[in-house]
Chains A and B, each alone.
Chain A
Amino acid sequence: MSALADADARERSEWRGEDVGVAEVAERLMALNHEHALHEHGHAATRTLNLLVAPGEDVAQPALEQQLAGLADRHPSRTIVVREHAAERLDALVAIDCTIGAGAGSAGHCHDMALLTADAERLAHADSLGRPLRVAGLPTVLWLPGIRASRAQDPLATLALAIVLDSGVASGAALPLAFARAAALDAERVRDVAWLRLRRWRRHVAARFDDPAARGLLGRTKRVELRSCAPQQASALLLAGWIAARAGWRLERLAPAPGGWSGVARRADGGAVELVLGPPEQPDLTGIHGLALHAGAETIALTAPVAAPNPARAFAAALGMFATPTPGYGAALAALLDGLAAT
């Protein structure tokens, strides 16, 4: 065991084992917690969730650790990461990470983590690895970082109340894959960060179409324009898919185009709606910052001022909303996949 302290007041105690059984990992986690309590650091073990993590091959471990460290301050959890390696055995690293409260009277908190690395066969039964390590009584959330699916994804999903992913990590030609992967999961349980980023946009769109005159335009719309920066393309596409789905339009085509995406939707009366998702008019703008629906000379334009996006906040918010349904997401995703499939 090693105890590390660094300048930004974090402490870690850890244990590593090679070719171990999951029962031993569970014992080591418990022992580490007891030992930690005996030191009387005065930092409460804080766990708001069982967070299962199944990174795809495209997610490097150092990058994942960096994300987890950032997440810990916002959402300390019993974290169980399951990765694949070639060797036919289970290796484990278990650790307790503590954030030391700065200043007299401030509270510190600690949370624990198990990194399990195993062969493909074991990963296909990853639920049997995750189940004994969960803290009883805490909700379980599965996080799927990256774009590619891990072999552990489906078995771990059976343990989870909610599945968090971010379609927004994909761009260009990889976006359809990300959407298809999300659609293959149980839409009711998926919390897609790219969709949750749209909360304020969805509120604004809903409010704008409270006006009966604006609603009337939905039946005559000929062109929809969405302006967004490149990292927000997934969100912009989901917004377009949602508008189409709820307006009663069917997406007939959707494909990458220079600077963005373009497509065609069909209104219920048979009229065509051109979809244009382009880059921002000012290159320094981030996020989605403009939506316009045109019907001949009539236009409805919406802007929703947003602060610079904070990826950590967006992800933490997605985790925090594990118990909140995301109505409209499934419809948006289905509309997009219709358009992509037809292309």
Chain B
Amino acid sequence: MAATTTAPLAESPFAQDVDERLPPPSTLVLFGATGDLAARKLLPAVYDLLADGRLPERFRLLAVVRGTLDEASFRTHAREAIDAHARRALDERLWDALAPRIGVVAGQYGSPDLFRELAARLDADDERDGGPTQRLFYLAISPAFFADTARGLDEAGLGRGAEPPTRLLIEKPFGRDLASARELNAAIEESFEERQVFRIDHYLGKETVQNLLVLRFGNGIFEPLWNRTAIDHVQITVAEDIGIGHRAGYYDRAGALRDVIQNHALQLLSLVAMEPPASFDADLVRDEKAKALHAARPLDARTDAVRGQYTAGWLGGERVSGYREEEDVPADSRTETYAAVRVEIDNWRWAGVPFYLRTGKRLPLRTTEIAIAFKPAPHQPFRGLDAPPPPNELVISVQPNEGATLQIAAKMPGTALRMRPVQMDFQYGTSFLRESPEAYERLLHDALLGDATLFTRADEVEAAWQIVDPVLEAWEDPDSGGPEPYEAGTPGPRAADALLAQDGRAWRPL
């Protein structure tokens, strides 16, 4: 055979055949690595990503811990966390591959020495392992330290303009009102560019939430109906059966409106209400979400919002305490454990279509769902019916059973013309054999890839605060009364029912 000279290939000849690219070489720096979030979610997510072959060959995890915890002790801690919480059973070979990639930097979060030491360690590890890695800083710490930590990283050369590139991952709460959110955003912006900041709302990592976009924009039948012409109203429910556990310190200062409505519920609303993006590009999607939030009318505490607080009651056959009897909750607390709001979106698509959002603790069951209630048929040709069939409803269940149900009317078998609502059901569990990745797996993987689509941008955060701020302000007024008591195990305060009843509607039963 005649020898020929071949030019080097311009790109990987193998890339054309892979369904998913691996992230570039990366170091994940975990602040708060010994905390609850790291143990329950982040360390297991790293392990599950490794088990699924979704981490780059050069991947390291650097735990930033307070005090003097050594590497061996942290690895033991990480192994226990993975064993207890990972989706997949702990496999010794995988653990053997992961353990040497875990390192520790110990120190005090406020100390400049810590950040200098961290920067030196990152460089040394890169040099030892054969090249630079992108650095992701996950702040699984109190939001009170977000700004200082971002500044410390920047001062150590790991923030704006850093090379190798860096990203900052933070999770809500992003402020406690519009003013503090703006302050936090501004402080972070001094140290990191917006494109480097990945704000996590873990609801956006859930499969069904992403499926909402596919349902809307991947199918031809829904979008023509997705507007004020066909839709009567939308209900978004984030119900929890648990109480506040040991989170009284945080929860009593926050309340249900800040804890869930301002972020999770309004993020879901923005996905339901947004216009179709031109493409599934991170900024185009987030532009549309932000526009929807900006179009939402700021709430009026007198007419659009209801609050409640649970009292002792029965749940699942067990007697449970009231909120004010929970550990570390002041006996005269006015914090709401239930919030329901009516949001009006002032644009052509949604004018006159209310979005009802509710969340609460100690409700009868744990469920997160989006219910699209369609308008009834304009004319019923079926004479002699006792009652017209109920309107169609599309219910997207986010948790615990991910799926979607479309309720339609059907004729009951028999000689008489009787109708009954029936459900067309799609359940992830029975339609797809693949287990869904945990939300944190998806979000960590996206952050490693630099895909910000499922992360919240600063302007979205501020727009969401803008909607709820008037209510927060009104409720903080001592003369505004307090939350209406509701018995644990019931669907919430009576005022919540009245909020919909005044519009001639009712909540979906819980």
Do the beta carbons of B53 and A304 come within 8 Å of each other?
A: yes
Residues in A with CB closer than 8 Å to B8 are: 212, 215-216, 219
Do the beta carbons of B9 and A199 come within 8 Å of each other?
A: no
- Given A219-B8, A270-B4, does the pair A203, B430 have CB atoms closer than 8 Å? no
Do the beta carbons of A247 and B13 come within 8 Å of each other?
A: yes
Measured CB to CB, the residues of A under 8 A from B are 44, 46, 48, 74-76, 107, 109, 199-210, 212, 215-216, 218-219, 242-243, 246-248, 266-271, 285, 302-308, 316-317, 319-320, 324, 327-328, 331
Do the beta carbons of A316 and B17 come within 8 Å of each other?
A: no
Do the beta carbons of A207 and B430 come within 8 Å of each other?
A: no
Q: Given contacts A242-B17, A246-B16, could you give 7 more A-B pairs where the C-beta distance is less than 8 Å? A: A48-B431, A268-B4, A269-B4, A303-B57, A307-B88, A308-B93, A331-B17
Measured CB to CB, the residues of B under 8 A from A are 1-6, 8-9, 11-22, 24, 50-54, 56-57, 88, 91, 93-94, 96-98, 425, 427, 429-434
The contact sample of 18 A-B pairs, CB cut-off 8 A, is A44-B430, A48-B431, A48-B432, A199-B19, A204-B53, A206-B21, A215-B9, A219-B6, A246-B16, A268-B4, A307-B51, A307-B88, A308-B91, A317-B434, A319-B433, A320-B432, A320-B433, A328-B14
Residues in A with CB closer than 8 Å to B56 are: 207
Contact of B14 among A74, A200, A206 (CB under 8 A): A206
Task: Write the nearest CB–CB distance from B503 to chain A, whole angstroms.
Answer: 32
B433: nearest residue on chain A (CB-CB)? A74
Do the beta carbons of B53 and A199 come within 8 Å of each other?
A: yes
Do the beta carbons of B433 and A270 come within 8 Å of each other?
A: no
Do the beta carbons of B97 and A305 come within 8 Å of each other?
A: yes
Contact of B50 among A215, A269, A305, A317 (CB under 8 A): A305
Max chain A C-beta neighbours (<10 A), residue from B6, B20, B52, B88: B6
Task: Write the nearest CB–CB distance from A247 to chain B, whole angstroms.
Answer: 6
Do the beta carbons of B12 and A209 come within 8 Å of each other?
A: yes
Do the beta carbons of A248 and B6 come within 8 Å of each other?
A: yes
Do the beta carbons of B432 and A207 come within 8 Å of each other?
A: no
Do the beta carbons of B3 and A305 come within 8 Å of each other?
A: no
CA–CA, A246 and B56, complex, Å: 21
Contact of A305 among B2, B6, B94, B432 (CB under 8 A): B94
Residues in B with CB closer than 8 Å to A203 are: 18, 20-22, 53-54
Residues in B with CB closer than 8 Å to A204 are: 22, 53, 57
Residues in A with CB closer than 8 Å to B5 are: 269
Residues in B with CB closer than 8 Å to A246 are: 13-14, 16-17
Do the beta carbons of B13 and A207 come within 8 Å of each other?
A: no
CA–CA, A319 and B51, complex, Å: 21
Do the beta carbons of A307 and B94 come within 8 Å of each other?
A: yes
- Given A212-B8, A306-B53, A307-B94, does the pair A270, B2 have CB atoms closer than 8 Å? yes
Max chain A C-beta neighbours (<10 A), residue from B22, B51, B427: B22
Max chain B C-beta neighbours (<10 A), residue from A246, A327, A331: A246
A220: nearest residue on chain B (CB-CB)? B6
Do the beta carbons of B22 and A207 come within 8 Å of each other?
A: yes
CA–CA, A161 and B451, complex, Å: 33
- Given A48-B430, A207-B56, does the pair A202, B1 have CB atoms closer than 8 Å? no
Residues in A with CB closer than 8 Å to B2 are: 270
A-B CB proximity, top 10 nearest? A200-B53, A328-B17, A305-B97, A270-B3, A206-B14, A209-B12, A207-B22, A307-B91, A74-B433, A246-B13
Residues in A with CB closer than 8 Å to B4 are: 268-270
A252: nearest residue on chain B (CB-CB)? B1
CA–CA, A276 and B96, complex, Å: 27
- Given A203-B22, A204-B22, does the pair A209, B14 have CB atoms closer than 8 Å? yes
Do the beta carbons of A207 and B51 come within 8 Å of each other?
A: no
A218: nearest residue on chain B (CB-CB)? B9
Do the beta carbons of B14 and A202 come within 8 Å of each other?
A: yes
B425: nearest residue on chain A (CB-CB)? A44
Do the beta carbons of A266 and B1 come within 8 Å of each other?
A: yes
Residues in B with CB closer than 8 Å to A48 are: 430-433
CA–CA, A299 and B88, complex, Å: 33
Do the beta carbons of A316 and B9 come within 8 Å of each other?
A: no
CA–CA, A174 and B57, complex, Å: 34
Residues in A with CB closer than 8 Å to B3 are: 269-271
Do the beta carbons of B21 and A207 come within 8 Å of each other?
A: yes
Do the beta carbons of B51 and A206 come within 8 Å of each other?
A: no
Residues in B with CB closer than 8 Å to A76 are: 430
Residues in A with CB closer than 8 Å to B9 are: 215, 218
CA–CA, A152 and B51, complex, Å: 38
Residues in B with CB closer than 8 Å to A324 are: 19
CA–CA, A166 and B51, complex, Å: 22
Contact of B430 among A46, A209, A270, A317 (CB under 8 A): A46
Do the beta carbons of B13 and A209 come within 8 Å of each other?
A: yes
Do the beta carbons of A302 and B53 come within 8 Å of each other?
A: no
CA–CA, A209 and B9, complex, Å: 10
B3: nearest residue on chain A (CB-CB)? A270
B432: nearest residue on chain A (CB-CB)? A320
CA–CA, A305 and B50, complex, Å: 8
Do the beta carbons of A320 and B434 come within 8 Å of each other?
A: yes
CA–CA, A46 and B431, complex, Å: 8
Residues in A with CB closer than 8 Å to B13 are: 209, 215, 218, 246-248
Do the beta carbons of A205 and B14 come within 8 Å of each other?
A: yes
Do the beta carbons of A206 and B88 come within 8 Å of each other?
A: no
Residues in B with CB closer than 8 Å to A107 are: 427, 429-430
CA–CA, A206 and B432, complex, Å: 27
Residues in B with CB closer than 8 Å to A219 are: 6, 8
Task: Write the nearest CB–CB distance from B269 to chain A, whole angstroms.
Answer: 29
Task: Write the nearest CB–CB distance from B62 to chain A, whole angstroms.
Answer: 19
Max chain A C-beta neighbours (<10 A), residue from B9, B11, B56, B431: B9
Residues in A with CB closer than 8 Å to B21 are: 203, 206-207
Task: Write the nearest CB–CB distance from A109 to chain B, whole angstroms.
Answer: 6
B90: nearest residue on chain A (CB-CB)? A307
CA–CA, A159 and B312, complex, Å: 61
Do the beta carbons of B1 and A215 come within 8 Å of each other?
A: no
- Given A248-B6, A266-B1, A306-B53, does the pair A316, B433 have CB atoms closer than 8 Å? yes
